[in-house]
Amino acid sequence: MSMSTTDVVRYRGRFAPSPTGPLHLGSLTTALASYLDAQYNQGQWLLRLEDIDPPREVDGAADSIIKCLASHGLQSNIATIWQHNNWQRYRDTCQQLISAGQAFYCECPRRQQDELGRCTSGCYKKNLGARNNNLRAALPLTDLNFIDRVYGLVETPKRTFDNAIIWRRDDLPAYLLAVVVDDVDSKVTDIVRGDDLLHETQRQLALYALLEQRPPRFAHIPVVLNEEGKKLSKQTGATGLDNTQALENLQRAIQHLGLELGAQLPSDNPQSLIARAIQHWRLPEPRLQKGQSIIN
Ligand SMILES: [Zn+2]
């Protein structure tokens, strides 16, 4: 495939929350890190709302996230992407993989899948239809070691993703499919996100390989933990951010990222604080040990 020079994007990052609740300190920290990395690299940054799982979504959450980011000085001049608009692209990609013999329907109920969630009864030989079945991609079993900008060399763990679900039996696209298709379509070059997703990366790289697409660079930053050492999330009791406290919230996120901005200025506002954070930006140190993963 030839690309004209106007198609070449040197750096494009993104923040991609699911509208399952308001932003909290953990999600703000991730959003800020991806924003600072993009600005530091004179790149672009976009916002994508991952609204493809209606049972988990909360009314009004998407608008509240957009408003919250704007209050904290995190805005993009690229139009916000809504995954629900991309449904047909996800379907077309599945169809393309099915036609190429690279995806198959699987009837295994959860109790019949193995401990890694894989098909156990050779469904790829059965020629099953879509109804009530998961669609699985036959991901390539190649070496998927990669260099993370924070963690360095990440080696392929034992094979856990050779027939990953890309379309769910409840007729919804799987996260794996949607995230890869959208990052490809929006020409995202750099993904800065929480290290709870470090071990999702190889499955995504396998799908990039299957779709014959060039993968982005990754930087996995330590997620904010609660007092019990669990990832800060709505499920672990994180509270939504108060937009009237944007400066304080940003200061906490900057502190979590380990950035030293010097003394606080009386004239600081979210925009000026972010401008200084861009100047002082560097990726944080890794936290996880080899083979360790964050328990959500
Ligand atoms: Zn099966």
State the DSSP string of the chain. Answer: ----GGG--S-EEEE---SSS---HHHHHHHHHHHHHHHHTT-EEEEEE----GGG--TTHHHHHHHHHHHTT---SSPPEEGGGGHHHHHHHHHHHHHTT-EEEE---GGGS-TTS---S-GGGT---STT-EEEE----S---EEETTTEEE---S---TT-EEE-TTS-B-HHHHHHHHHHHTT--EEEEEGGGGGGHHHHHHHHHHTT----EEEEEPPPB-TTSSBPSTTTTPPPP-GGGHHHHHHHHHHHTT----SPPTT--HHHHHHHHHHT--PPPP-SPTT-----
pLDDT at res. 166: 96
Average pLDDT estimate for 186-190 = 97
All domains in the chain, ordered by first residue: 10-279 (3.40.50.620)
CA 123 – ligand 1 centroid, Å: 4
CA 166 – ligand 1 centroid, Å: 13
Per the model's pLDDT, the better-predicted residue between 158 and 178 turns out to be 178
Which residues make Cβ contacts (< 8 Å) with residue 47, sequence separation at least 6?
14, 15, 16, 66, 69, 76, 78, 80, 81
What mean pLDDT, rounded, does the chain reach?
A: 90
CA 293 – ligand 1 centroid, Å: 27
Average pLDDT estimate for 219-234 = 87
CA 139 – ligand 1 centroid, Å: 15
Per the model's pLDDT, the better-predicted residue between 229 and 46 turns out to be 46
pLDDT over 90 percentage in the chain: 71
Average pLDDT estimate for 5-30 = 90
pLDDT at res. 200: 87
CA 100 – ligand 1 centroid, Å: 19
Average pLDDT estimate for 180-205 = 94
Task: Give the pTM.
Answer: 0.91
pLDDT at res. 1: 41
Q: What is the pLDDT of residues 98-123, one digit of tens each?
A: 999 999 999 998 888 887 788 888 99
- Give 165's strand partners: 136
CA 169 – ligand 1 centroid, Å: 12
pLDDT surpassing 50 at residue 6: yes
CA 265 – ligand 1 centroid, Å: 60
CA 137 – ligand 1 centroid, Å: 12
